[in-house]
Amino acid sequence: GAPGAPGYGGFPGQAQDPLFGYFSAVAGQDGQIDAEELQRCLTQANFSGGYKPFNLETCRLMISMLDRDMSCTMGFNEFKELWSILHAWKQHFMSMDRDRSGTIDHTEMQQAVASMGYRLSPQAMTAIVKRCSTQGKITFDDYVACCVKIRALTDVFRRRDQSQQGVASFSYDDFIQSTMTI
Amino acid sequence: GAPGAPGYGGFPGQAQDPLFGYFSAVAGQDGQIDAEELQRCLTQANFSGGYKPFNLETCRLMISMLDRDMSCTMGFNEFKELWSILHAWKQHFMSMDRDRSGTIDHTEMQQAVASMGYRLSPQAMTAIVKRCSTQGKITFDDYVACCVKIRALTDVFRRRDQSQQGVASFSYDDFIQSTMTI
C-alpha cells in the first residue's frame, strides 16, 4: 500500500487498533510494559474518567493477574485482555455508583462479587469487603483491586483443585509463591 | 498524686509511654485506629525518617497482620507490637542501604528474607522479590509490605499445617478469605 495507508508500519494489523496507540506510547523496545508504565498508560488514556487514576499497587495487581510467565510485565495481547476486563468492571461500578459519588457501599460491593459468580460464605464476604474499604466506602480503585485479587486467587485455587471438590493442598513454598506474587 | 504528676490522667501507666502520645493523637473514642489513622500516626511520628512515608496499602497490610478479631482496626497493644516489629525491620533495611539511596537491590532483599528464617526455593524467592520491586529496586515501603505479607501468610499456612509436614489444605472459602484479608 501507499505510505500512510492502513497497515503501514512495523506492526501490521495492530496499527489500526486504537488501544495500540496507548500501549506503544509507554512500551519500551521489548514491547512489554511494567506496573509504572501501565499506570501511566491508563492515566494518559483517561481510563478512570471521573474516578481517581489507579494507584501503583493496583496496577501491579493487574499485571500479576495475567502474568503467565512471571515476568511482572505485560505484552499487548494481555493489555487488550485487561482493557476489556477493566471496561466491564467499570460499567458495573458506574451502574452501582448512580449518584457519581465515586464510591459504593458494602452491600453493593457484596452484590458485585456475588454477581461475578464467586460463591463465598457471608463471613468471607464481610471480611473481604471490609478489607477493601476506605472509611467504610469502596472507591473505584479499591473495587478493581478487589476484583483482580479474587479472580487471580480463584485461578490459583482452581489449578490445585483438579478434582473440583472445593479443596486444594499447597506445599509451603507453593503457597507463599502463589499468594505473594498476586 | 498532685495534678501533672506521672500517671495523671485517664490512662494509668500508658500516659508515660511515649508511643501512647502518637497513638492517642489519632485514635478515636474507641481506642482503635484504622489504616488511614495508622498512616497519619506513623507519618506524624516521622517513623520512616529519611524514607518516604508508608502508603495506605502498606498500612492496611500492617493492620491485617495483627488483626486477630478481623475488625480492620488496631488497639494500642497491637500498635506497640507493630512498632517494635517495624523498628527491627527498619534497622535491618538501613544496615543494607548503606549509601542511603532509599532502596536496596534484589540480592539484598533475598538475603533479608532468608535471614528472617523463611525457607523458600530460589524460584519462589526470585518471583517474590521481583513482584515487590519498583523499577528493579526495593524501597523501604516495598520492603515492609513484603515482610508483612510473608509473615502474615506464613501464619495462615502454619495454622493449617498442624502436623507440621509443610503441607496445608484449604477449602475454597477459607483460602479466599484468609488470603484476601491480608
Beta-ladder partners of B74 = B33
- Spell out which residues of chain B touch residue A159, defining contact as CB-CB under 8 Å: none
% residues pLDDT > 70 (chain B): 92
Nearest CA in chain A to B130: A72
C-beta of residue A147 within 8 angstroms of C-beta of residue A115: no
Task: Judge contact between B49 and A51, C-beta under 8 A.
Answer: no
Least confident of A9-13, B5-9, B101-105, B111-115: B5-9
Which helix (H) or strand (E) segment holds residue A36: the answer is helix A35-44
Report the length, in residues, of chain A.
182
B chain contacts of residue A180, beta-carbon cutoff 8 Å: 124, 127-128, 131, 146, 149-150, 153
The DSSP element (H or E) to which B174 belongs, if any, is helix B172-180
Angle between helices B140-160 and B122-131 (to 10 degrees): 130
The end-to-end CA distance of chain B, in Å, is: 45
Query: In chain A, positions 74-113, which contact chain B (CB-CB < 8 Å)?
Result: none
SS3 B117: coil
| pLDDT > 70 fraction of chain A, expressed in percent and rounded | 91
Burial status of residue A84 (CB atoms within 10 A of its CB: 0-12, 13-18, 19 or more): exposed
Coil vs helix vs strand at B137: strand
Residue A17: the pLDDT is 83
Q: Which of B55, B70, B133 sits opposite A127 (nearest CB)?
A: B70
Residue A53 CA neighbour count, 13 Å, CB half: 12
Reading phi first (left if > 0) and then psi (alpha if -120 to 50, else beta), residue B51 is in beta
pLDDT of residue A29: 84
Question: What chain A residue is nearest to B133 in terms of C-alpha separation?
Answer: A72
Residue with cell 501464619: B155
A54 contacts: CB under 8 Å, gap ≥ 6 = A39, A42, A43, A47, A48, A62, A141, A144
pLDDT (average), residues A117-140: 93
ipTM for the whole complex? 0.88
Chain B interface disruption, residue of A57, A179, A181, A182, most B CBs within 10 A: A179
User: Which of A172, A173, A182 to substitute to test the interface with B, most B CBs within 10 Å?
Assistant: A172
Strands B138-139 and A138-139: unpaired
- C-alpha distances (whole Å) from A159 to each of A90, A155, A162, A168, B27 are 27, 6, 6, 9, 43
B59: cell is: 498500612
Q: Is the pLDDT of residue B139 over 50?
A: yes
Strands A103-104 and A138-139: antiparallel
Q: A76-96 vs A106-115: helix axis angle to the nearest 10?
A: 130
**Interchain contact A55–B (C-beta under 8 A):** yes
What is the structure's pLDDT at B3?
A: 39
Query: Taking CA atoms, what residue in B is nearest to A174?
Result: B124
Residues A130-157 have pLDDT tens digits of 999 988 899 999 999 999 999 999 999 9
Q: A89 Cβ partners below 8 Å, 6+ apart? A: A143, A144, A147
Question: pTM for the full model?
Answer: 0.87
Please write the tens of the pLDDT for every residue from A2-30: 333 444 445 555 557 889 999 999 997 88
Structure confidence at residue A158 (pLDDT): 97
Band (pLDDT 50/70/90 cuts) for residue B4 is very low
Whether B39 contacts chain A with CB within 8 A: no
Q: Fill in the DSSP letter of residue A116.
A: T
- Enumerate the residues of chain B whose CB falls inside 8 A of the CB of residue A133: 72
Using CA atoms, how far apart are residues B80 and B93, in angstroms rounded to an integer? 20
Q: Which grid coordinates belong to A174? A: 507453593
Return mean pLDDT, chain B.
90
Q: Residue A64: which of B131, B149, B167 has the nearest Cβ? A: B131
Chain A: nearest CA to B167, how far in angstroms? 4
Residue whose C-alpha is closest to residue B127's, from B110, B151, B145: B110
Strand-pair partners of A103: A139
Strand partners, A171: B167
